[in-house]
Amino acid sequence: MNDRPPTELEQGRRAFLGKIAVGAAGLSMAAAIDPWEAWAQARANGAPDGEHWLDNLKGTHRQLVDAYQPNEGFPFAFVWSFGLVQPPPAQIGTVMVLRHFAMPFALNDAMWAKYKIGEGIKFNDPATKAPAVKNVMYKAKPGTLPIDDIAIDKLMAKGTIFGACNVALQFLSGEFAANAKVSKEAAAKEWAANLVPGIPLIPSGTWGVNRAQQKGCTYCTGGG
């Protein structure tokens, strides 16, 4: 029998699952968030048709990185390293799904600061070693990240297709709404309006993982 105390990550996962369980009982999440209604609203606000999300995926060798935890930014390094070792001329296609506690990497700096996202998902800025108050994975200054090319904009420039989980957006924006002193509904709308350019909302992260594999991507976990 393992008597060790749960790690911080395990505690976070248990808390998340506990909230889902409460919702399933009709008391919290399920009542507060109707994923299909939220997705319909996202589509009305300009989110692309999810079924055409991967229409531009190219390459003979295709890889999906499933980012469901910040994992110190390593999911982005996994995307980069897949392309690094392909023999020239590389014919690759890469997809990255941002879901669960990694979904906020799809948000701009303003949302990270206003909603104290770094503190909420327990992700530190590598430069300050304090909870991140900006999206350090997007348009990072040279030398800020361990490898400059793992930044979101650098990966996009090389063809990586990103997708942000709408279910995680609805849930986490509600969890962090109090940090910005706004309602859960206002937080969800603001997050949806402040996605990094080029990262669309998709119905859910698990939906995206499925669709990417149907498009011929092999699966790589982002780890936690």
Amino acid 28: pLDDT: 42
Question: pLDDT band for position 24 (50/70/90)?
Answer: very low
Structure tokens at 33: 């968030």
Which residues fall within 8 angstroms of residue 216, CB to CB, at 6 or more apart? 62
Amino acid 161: pLDDT: 97
Asked whether the predicted pLDDT for residue 192 surpasses 60, the reply is: yes
Question: pLDDT band for position 20 (50/70/90)?
Answer: very low
Asked whether the predicted pLDDT for residue 119 surpasses 90, the reply is: yes
Amino acid 90: pLDDT: 75
Round to whole Å and give the CA distance between 191 and 170. 9
Round to whole Å and give the CA distance between 51 and 195. 19
Rounded to the nearest integer, the mean pLDDT of the chain is 86
Mean pLDDT over 196-203 rounds to: 94
Kindly report whether the global pTM for this prediction surpasses the value 0.75. Answer: yes
Asked whether the predicted pLDDT for residue 213 surpasses 90, the reply is: yes
| Percent of the chain scoring above 70 in pLDDT | 78
Amino acid 42: pLDDT: 66
* Residue ranges making up the domain that contains 57: 34-221
pLDDT per position as a tens digit, 74-114: 999 999 999 999 887 779 999 999 999 999 999 999 999 99
How many independent structural domains does the chain possess? 1
Closest residue by Cα to residue 161 from 102, 211, 224: 211
Closest residue by Cα to residue 214 from 75, 90, 53, 99: 53
Strand partners, 202: 165
Between 189 and 24, name the one with better pLDDT.
189
| Residue 21 domain-assigned (yes or no) | no
Amino acid 224: pLDDT: 79
Q: How far is CA 139 from CA 134, 144, 156, 222, in A?
A: 11, 10, 11, 21
Amino acid 89: pLDDT: 79
What does the CA dihedral 191, 192, 196, 199 come to, rounded to 10 degrees?
A: 140
Amino acid 88: pLDDT: 79
Structure tokens at 224: 């936690």
| Residue 50 domain-assigned (yes or no) | yes
Strand partners, 65: 96, 220
| Residue 101 domain-assigned (yes or no) | yes
Round to whole Å and give the CA distance between 113 and 36. 29
| Residue 183 domain-assigned (yes or no) | yes
Mean pLDDT over 29-38 rounds to: 57
pLDDT per position as a tens digit, 38-61: 666 666 666 656 678 999 999 999
| Residue 90 domain-assigned (yes or no) | yes
Find the CATH number of the domain harbouring 49: 3.40.1260.10
| Residue 202 domain-assigned (yes or no) | yes
| Residue 199 domain-assigned (yes or no) | yes
| Residue 22 domain-assigned (yes or no) | no
